[in-house]
Chains A and B, each alone.
Chain A
Amino acid sequence: KQEVTQIPAALSVPEGENLVLNCSFTDSAIYNLQWFRQDPGKGLTSLLLIQSSQREQTSGRLNASLDKSSGRSTLYIAASQPGDSATYLCAVKKTSYDKVIFGPGTSLSVIP
Chain B
Amino acid sequence: EAQVTQNPRYLITVTGKKLTVTCSQNMNHEYMSWYRQDPGLGLRQIYYSMNVEVTDKGDVPEGYKVSRKEKRNFPLILESPSPNQTSLYFCASSRKGLANTEAFFGQGTRLTVV
Where the two chains meet, the residues of A that have a C-beta atom closer than 8 Å to any C-beta of B are 31-32, 34, 36, 41-46, 49, 51-53, 89, 91, 93, 96-97, 99-100, 102-105
Contacts and interface: CB of A to CB of B under 8 A. Distances in A.
A88 B97 CA distance: 26
Interface stretch (B13-21, B43-51, B66-74, B76-84): B43-51
Contacts of A41: 88, 108, 110
A43 B110 CA distance: 11
Contacts of B105: 36, 43-46
Contact of A100 (B92, B96, B108): B92
Contacts of A100: 33, 45, 92, 103
B100 A51 contact: yes
Contact of B101 (A53, A96, A102): A96
A43 B106 contact: yes
Given A43-B107, A89-B43, A105-B42, A97 B99 contact: no
6 contacts: A34-B103, A41-B110, A96-B101, A97-B31, A97-B96, A99-B58
Interface residues of B, number: 26
Contact of A34 (B33, B97, B102, B110): B102
B104 interface: yes
Contact of A96 (B42, B45, B99): B99
Given A42-B108, A44-B90, A99 B45 contact: yes
Across the A-B interface, the 7 shortest Cβ-Cβ residue pairs: A43-B107, A44-B105, A51-B99, A102-B43, A99-B45, A43-B108, A104-B42
Nearest to B109: A43
A35 to B, nearest CB: 11
Contacts of B12: none
